[in-house]
């Protein structure tokens, strides 16, 4: 048995042919319009099907709620963006649209007046998720030019209606529009199964068994009837026919009413007949009262739901406005932050360029100073060579005096104190005696004699490991200690520069003579210091005194010879003193060491220049490294701030 068709273009006939074998099926009607007129779902509803109607027009949505109990009615439009969307409503709702261009078209062609308003917009995913059944047998989309936005909102829902019917022409024209959106429905796993001139029927690839039912248009074999309430020309003809039939039958009704009146006259005579009519009347009145009560209850419920919906819409509109203001403020704040960060980036870039230029300039200055120092070093080396050569040429001059005074013993020059070069222990030792000591005692004695202190743990480990494993000689250890910065500072007294004259005298006596300063010696050298002689002269006098030579003199001489032999001018000190001292040597002693002290001063100057160059280079290098590191840290901070701003945007 066929159905009564209410649809505008017999869409329900085609769908019933394919799906009529299913009992209590499920449908979704997007753009449902009137519950009876031009309705695709009416025939299915009458056969026990239930589903979801989506209609943004408030009056039509209310009609659907009243006429379709058991169905879900969602008063909203479908869009790819949730929220509140402009909506253009027409009388009756049949041409209402969310597309402003379509609304302008209707106004320009006199199709219908348009009233702009707003409607809540949901996505097709939201609607599909509302369906409780896993199978949705058909989905119809009639959105008057808003098809692509509707299909674009179908993103994540896994549900696939068996058949999807989409209006495929521009409203009120034959112009096809499916080229604008058909790729979206095909991408969901559908294929075009039927074109009725107004709509496209798409069949899910999961149900190919239904394709044969979608090949022919509606025909006599569908055994359907047409409801005359539709808006199509065929329905209009049917309506005219039925109106004519009703008019003809009206006359017949008049005749029948006359006959009924006559019959009532006959029935009035019968009391029993009257009682029956009274009972029937009372029963009808009771039914009317009950129906009225139900109508009042439904009206109250409808009013409550309408008020609730209006409140919800107002709340949504307020939230939308608040969100828009918040977004605007965030955009402004982000723009300000980006401008600030770009300004900082420019400033840091300029600073980096200036610091780089400054580093290059300082490097050039440092290179120039190093070249100048190297030139000065070369000049000093030449001077040193000249002094050595001069000393060698004049070496023969004391020999006639020595020969003449051989055997003459003059009393030595008496000084208030005596001298020691490396004093640190009380008992004088020779180099050979120190070299013959066990390793631990050898290292302890070397530290005491050369550095004037006990060996520390680091030195014990360092030199102990090198003597045992690396195979270096003890002579090498002594030379290395004597050449160390600590030994040079101690020998020159530089480690005492910050002390007072009294403290200086108290410190050098134990160091050079192995004893505390006596009152006479202390007053003598304090007086000389205050007269303007240098501390280096005081130390030289103490070293050259008889007491100073006696205090570890043998070890000092042997160590000095050992150190000098391992330099580029090795052996020069021993060459200058080839024979034992005579009384005349002792008499001439104060004048003899000038060449030696000059050479020692040159060596000391060379060492100080080298150290100053090394210190200057290291300081410049550290400063440049610190500047570069600071700039890199600032650039990293700037990059992190830019990245954070982009992520918030």
Q: How far apart are CA 3 and CA 36, in angstroms?
A: 14
Spatial contact of 118 and 87, defined as CB atoms under 8 Å apart:
yes
Cβ-based neighbour number of residue 232 at 10 Å: 16
Structural domain for 309, as ranges:
241-365
- Domain identity same for 248 and 156: no
DSSP 272-329: HHHHHHHHHHHHHHHHHHHHHHHHHHHHHHHHHHHHHHHHHHHHHHHHHHHHHHHHHH
| Cα dihedral 282, 283, 289, 292 sign | negative
Q: How far apart are CA 168 and CA 179, in angstroms?
A: 9
Dihedral through CA 97, CA 102, CA 106, CA 112, nearest 10? 0
Question: How does strand 26-30 pair with strand 50-54?
Answer: parallel
- Domain identity same for 206 and 248: no
Specify the CATH number for the domain of residue 121: 3.40.50
- Domain identity same for 350 and 419: no
Residue 354 within a domain: yes
Q: How far apart are CA 95 and CA 85, in angstroms?
A: 17
Q: How far apart are CA 5 and CA 383, in angstroms?
A: 125
CA 355 to each of CA 194, 282, 368, 370: distance values in angstroms, whole numbers, following the listed order: 76, 108, 20, 22
- Domain identity same for 423 and 528: yes
Residue 638 within a domain: no
Residue 647 dihedral angles phi and psi, to the nearest 5°: -65, -40
Last-in-domain residue among 161, 196, 227: 227
Residue 86 within a domain: yes
What separation, in Å, do the N-terminal and C-terminal C-alpha atoms of the chain show? Answer: 63
Q: How far apart are CA 67 and CA 34, in angstroms?
A: 9
Q: How far apart are CA 604 and CA 598, in angstroms?
A: 10
Question: How does strand 138-141 pair with strand 115-122?
Answer: unpaired
- Domain identity same for 464 and 516: yes
Closest CA to 53 of 35, 24, 28, 70: 28
- Who contacts 605 (Cβ-Cβ below 8 Å, separation ≥6)? 380
Please list, residue by residue across 416-447, b when 16 or more beta carbons sit within 10 angstroms of its beta carbon and e when fewer do.
bbbbbbbbbbeebbebeebbeeeeeebbbbbb
Q: How far apart are CA 574 and CA 570, in angstroms?
A: 9
- Domain identity same for 495 and 415: yes
- Domain identity same for 186 and 74: yes
| Cα dihedral 417, 421, 424, 425 sign | negative
- Domain identity same for 210 and 109: yes
Mean pLDDT per segment of 10 residues, for the chain of length 649 residues? 88 96 96 92 96 94 96 96 93 84 90 92 96 93 95 96 97 94 97 96 97 94 81 52 57 78 80 76 87 87 86 85 86 88 86 86 80 72 65 48 37 35 51 89 90 91 88 89 89 86 91 89 93 90 85 69 60 40 40 46 60 60 57 62 59
Last-in-domain residue among 535, 559, 581: 581
Residue 644 within a domain: no
Spatial contact of 420 and 448, defined as CB atoms under 8 Å apart:
no
pLDDT on residue 602: 52
Residue 597 within a domain: no
Cα angle for residues 243, 244, 249 (degrees, 5° grid): 95
- Domain identity same for 335 and 460: no
Number of structural domains (the chain) is 3
């Amino acid at each position: 048995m066929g159905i009564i068709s209410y649809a505008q273009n017999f869409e329900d006939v085609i769908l019933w042919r394919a799906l009529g074998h299913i009992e209590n099926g499920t449908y979704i009607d997007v753009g449902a319009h009137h519950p009876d007129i031009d309705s695709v779902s009416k025939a299915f509803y009458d056969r026990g099907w239930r589903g979801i109607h989506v209609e943004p027009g408030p009056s039509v949505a209310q009609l659907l709620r009243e006429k379709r109990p058991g169905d879900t009615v969602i008063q909203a439009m479908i869009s790819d963006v949730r929220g509140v969307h402009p909506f253009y409503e027409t009388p009756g709702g049949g041409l209402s649209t969310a597309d402003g261009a379509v609304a302008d078209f209707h106004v320009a062609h006199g199709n219908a007046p348009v009233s702009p308003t707003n409607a809540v917009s949901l996505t097709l995913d939201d609607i599909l998720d509302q369906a409780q059944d896993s199978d949705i047998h058909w989905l119809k989309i009639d959105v008057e030019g808003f098809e692509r936005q509707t299909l674009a909102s179908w993103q994540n829902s896994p549900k696939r209606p068996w058949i999807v019917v989409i209006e495929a022409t521009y409203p009120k024209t034959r112009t096809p529009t499916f080229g604008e959106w058909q790729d979206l429905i095909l991408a969901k796993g559908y294929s075009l199964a039927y074109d009725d001139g107004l709509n496209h029927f798409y069949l899910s690839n999961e149900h190919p068994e239904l394709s044969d039912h979608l090949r022919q248009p509606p025909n006599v074999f569908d055994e359907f009837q047409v409801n005359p309430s539709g808006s199509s020309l065929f329905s209009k003809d049917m309506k005219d026919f039925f109106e004519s039939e009703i008019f003809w039958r009206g006359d017949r009704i008049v005749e029948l009413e006359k006959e009924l009146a006559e019959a009532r006259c006959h029935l009035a005579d019968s009391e029993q007949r009257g009682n029956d009519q009274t009972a029937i009347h009372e029963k009808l009145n009771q039914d009317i009262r009950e129906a009225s009560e139900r109508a009042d209850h439904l009206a109250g419920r409808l009013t409550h739901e309408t008020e609730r919906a209006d409140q919800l819409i107002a709340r949504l509109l307020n939230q939308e406005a608040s969100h828009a203001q918040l977004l605007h403020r965030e955009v402004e704040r982000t723009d300000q932050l980006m401008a600030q960060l770009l300004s900082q980036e420019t400033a840091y870039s300029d600073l980096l360029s200036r610091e780089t230029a400054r580093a290059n300039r300082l490097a050039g200055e440092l290179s120039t100073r190093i070249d100048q120092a190297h030139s000065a070093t070369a000049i000093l080396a030449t001077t040193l060579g000249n002094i050595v050569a001069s000393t060698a040429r004049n070496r023969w001059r004391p020999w006639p005096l020595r020969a003449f005074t051989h055997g003459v013993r003059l009393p030595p020059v008496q000084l208030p104190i005596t001298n020691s070069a490396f004093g640190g222990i009380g008992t004088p030792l020779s180099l050979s005696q120190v070299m013959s000591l066990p390793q631990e005692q050898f290292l302890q004695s070397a530290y005491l004699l050369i550095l004037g202190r006990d060996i520390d743990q680091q030195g014990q480990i360092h030199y102990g490991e090198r003597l045992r494993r690396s195979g270096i000689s003890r002579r090498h250890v002594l030379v290395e200690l004597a050449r160390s910065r600590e030994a040079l500072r101690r020998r020159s007294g530089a480690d005492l520069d910050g002390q007072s004259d009294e403290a200086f005298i108290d410190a050098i006596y134990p160091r050079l003579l192995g004893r505390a300063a006596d009152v006479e010696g202390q007053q003598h050298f304090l007086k000389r210091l205050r007269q303007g002689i240098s501390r280096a002269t005081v130390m030289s006098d103490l070293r050259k005194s008889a007491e100073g030579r006696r205090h570890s003199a043998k070890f000092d001489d042997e160590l000095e010879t050992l150190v000098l032999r391992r330099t580029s001018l090795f052996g020069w000190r021993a060459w200058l003193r080839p024979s034992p001292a005579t009384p005349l040597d002792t008499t001439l002693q104060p004048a003899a060491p000038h060449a030696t002290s000059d050479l020692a001063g040159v060596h000391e100057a060379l060492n100080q220049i080298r150290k100053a160059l090394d210190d200057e280079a290291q300081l410049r290098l550290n400063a440049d490294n610190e500047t570069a590191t600071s700039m890199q840290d600032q650039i990293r901070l700037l990059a992190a701030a830019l990245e954070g701003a982009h992520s918030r945007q």
